Amino acid sequence: MTTATATETRSTERTLHAKTYEGSCFCGAVHFTVTGEPAAMGYCHCESCRTWSAGPVNAFTLWKPEAVRVTRGADSVGTYNKTSRSYRKWCKQCGGHLFTEHPGWGVTDVYAAVVPDFPFRPGVHVNYQETKLRMHDGLPKLKDYPKEMGGSGIAIPE
């Protein structure tokens, strides 16, 4: 019991010190928070990201699922999964996108664009072989995914 209490205290301290950022959908019906530090940040150029977002590239931040919490409007959150790899969440009121859960990878991709105060620091481009918008920012450009996510890990020119 003493051990359990100590563990609980430590995790409470971590929560208190961890920064929380608030995100919301286009209309504001859905609010959510992300807490702590993401596991990775960057840009994805894949066709799925482009057709889902209706944009040329998706700025992603990857979090442990428990770091992402819907704080308002949970009833308005819709889910679409074309495949079991990605459960895409959006607001049923305005259609605005929120985040995508990737159960196989054990991460949730929160779109940097919907968390305005979050300090987005991209480190990598993924699926750059499919790009429709070349970006000359000096960051590594991976052909597909990093090796640890099941990809080739091969870097290609900007």
Positions touching Zn ion (CB under 5 A) are 25, 27, 29, 44, 46, 49, 91, 93-94, 96
Q: Which amino acid is at 66?
A: E
**Cα separations in angstroms, 45 against 32, 58, 76, 87, 126:** 25, 7, 28, 18, 6
Q: Which amino acid is at 88?
A: R
- If the CB atoms of residues 64 and 72 are measured against Zn ion, the closer one turns out to be 72
- If the CB atoms of residues 118 and 128 are measured against Zn ion, the closer one turns out to be 128
- If the CB atoms of residues 22 and 36 are measured against Zn ion, the closer one turns out to be 22
Strand partners, 24: 31
> Residue 90 CB, nearest distance to Zn ion (Å)?
8
- If the CB atoms of residues 34 and 114 are measured against Zn ion, the closer one turns out to be 114
Task: Write the Ramachandran bin of 75: left for phi over 0, alpha for psi from -120 to 50, otherwise beta.
Answer: alpha
> Where would I find the beta strands (DSSP E) of the chain?
20-24, 31-35, 40-44, 58-63, 68-72, 77-83, 86-91, 97-102, 107-111, 124-126
> Residue 33 CB, nearest distance to Zn ion (Å)?
16
> Residue 6 CB, nearest distance to Zn ion (Å)?
41
> Residue 67 CB, nearest distance to Zn ion (Å)?
20
